[in-house]
């Protein structure tokens, strides 16, 4: 799985994983000791030692996670020659977005068929396949947006004194209901601390980076797909959700030009290099999911459903 990911990066003309990566990374759960299995990528700051720690399982989900973590390492490799102070992402969301941008190509039925992971008999560009694929992606990406937003909102409300410690769990579920439209499956109380079940909360990892990443990865994807000749906004035969930038040196060159800057320039300037614009904008998500949005609108009207919750 890691070799498949490495081959995707190198097919774009990007940097192959160094020998130290293959020697020192922990990519399977060891049998003889306990480890923290939450996947993570590590730059040992000497220009050659980069590692991933992941208790990898052979699943489609973990194939995406592998590309996500390899994206971190690729970013580290691309800016490794910057002065030490600038060896970090243009902003934290950029670092999270790199691997996920490539994963938007990797997870397409077209690419999975290309690398032999999807049965040849399965259609990849008919309407039903597209809607099913986009629905699956929306349950991953769109449903994640309110969650990734509310985690740090929850913490900020605690830090600025908006929420008293007697309301920590109540406030957590208040935000889950308001932004996500969900409630707990059974009664909860202040004897519980459900927010602590999310790794990043007790580990003190700020979470807005993942919200930002979800926005900008679609902007990156759109720009790279146009560069690769895989997407044309005016050509219905080249929809954004079907784009696969695999083997596009042009797309890889554009991505590398931005990422190699590290944090040596303000992030809007890096964004401009990769996308041609300086702002984070959700328009690329709307373009990507446009066929599903039309289908959902029509289906809700047909069934008399009213989207949302009180």
- pLDDT of 122 reads 85
96 has binding-site annotation: yes
CB 41 within 8 A of CB 69: yes
The residue count of the chain comes to 310
CB 239 within 8 A of CB 231: yes
Q: One of 24, 114, 200, 293 is an active-site residue; which one?
A: 200
The 10s digit of each residue's pLDDT in 37-65 is 999 999 999 999 999 999 999 999 999 99
Distance CA 17, CA 189 (A): 48
Q: One of 69, 88, 227, 287 is an active-site residue; which one?
A: 69
Q: What is the pTM of this model?
A: 0.94
The 10s digit of each residue's pLDDT in 97-109 is 999 999 999 999 9
Which residues 6+ apart lie within 8 Å of 209 measured at CB? 91, 92, 93, 95, 96
- pLDDT of 123 reads 86
Q: Pick the range with the lowest mean pLDDT from 171-175, 200-204, 229-233.
A: 200-204
- pLDDT of 170 reads 97
DSSP string covering 157-211: HHHTTSS-GGGHHHHHHHHIIIII----SS---TT--GGGGSTTTTTT---HHHH
The 10s digit of each residue's pLDDT in 81-90 is 999 999 999 9
68 has binding-site annotation: yes
Residue 227 sits at φ, ψ, to 5 deg, of -60, -35
Count CB-CB contacts under 10 A for residue 197: 10
Strands 40-43 and 50-53: antiparallel
Taking phi over 0 as left and psi of -120 to 50 as alpha, with beta for the rest, 22 belongs to: alpha
Instruction: Note the CATH number of domain 2-142+209-296.
Output: 1.10.1370.40
38 assigned to active site: no
227 assigned to active site: no
pLDDT confidence tier of residue 124, bands split at 50, 70 and 90 = confident
Average pLDDT for residues 204-219, to the nearest whole number? 96
H-helix or E-strand containing 236? none
Q: Can you tell me whether residue 79 is helix, strand or coil? A: coil
67 has binding-site annotation: no
H-helix or E-strand containing 40? strand 40-43
- pLDDT of 120 reads 87
Q: Quick one: what percent of the chain has pLDDT higher than 70?
A: 100
209 has binding-site annotation: yes
């Amino acid at each position: 799985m890691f070799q498949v990911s490495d081959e995707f990066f190198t097919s774009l003309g990007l940097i192959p994983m160094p020998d130290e990566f293959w020697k020192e990374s922990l990519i399977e759960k060891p049998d003889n000791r306990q480890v923290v299995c939450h996947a993570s990528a590590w730059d040992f700051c000497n220009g050659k030692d980069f590692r991933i720690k992941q208790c990898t399982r052979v699943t489609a989900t973990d194939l995406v996670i592998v590309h996500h973590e390899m994206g971190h390492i690729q970013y580290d490799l691309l800016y490794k020659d910057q002065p030490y102070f600038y060896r970090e992402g243009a902003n934290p969301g950029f670092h999270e977005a790199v691997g996920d941008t490539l994963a938007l190509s990797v997870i397409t039925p077209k690419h999975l068929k290309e690398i032999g992971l999807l049965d040849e008999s399965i259609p990849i560009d008919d309407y039903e396949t597209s809607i099913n694929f986009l629905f699956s992606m929306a349950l991953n990406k769109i449903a994640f947006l309110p969650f990734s937003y509310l985690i740090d909102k929850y913490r900020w409300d605690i830090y600025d004194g908006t929420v008293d410690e007697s309301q920590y769990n109540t406030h957590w579920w208040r935000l889950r209901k308001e932004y996500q439209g969900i409630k707990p499956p059974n009664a909860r109380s202040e004897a519980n601390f459900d927010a602590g079940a999310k790794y990043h909360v007790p580990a003190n990892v700020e979470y807005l980076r993942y919200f930002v990443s979800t926005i900008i990865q679609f902007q990156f994807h759109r720009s790279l797909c146009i560069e690769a000749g895989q997407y044309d906004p005016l050509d219905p035969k080249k929809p954004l959700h079907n784009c696969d930038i695999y083997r596009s040196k042009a797309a890889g060159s554009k991505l590398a030009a931005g990422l190699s800057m590290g944090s040596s320039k303000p992030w809007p300037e890096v964004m401009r290099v990769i996308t041609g614009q300086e702002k984070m904008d959700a328009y690329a998500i709307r373009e990507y999911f446009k066929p599903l949005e039309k289908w959902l609108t029509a289906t809700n009207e047909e069934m008399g459903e009213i989207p949302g919750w009180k």
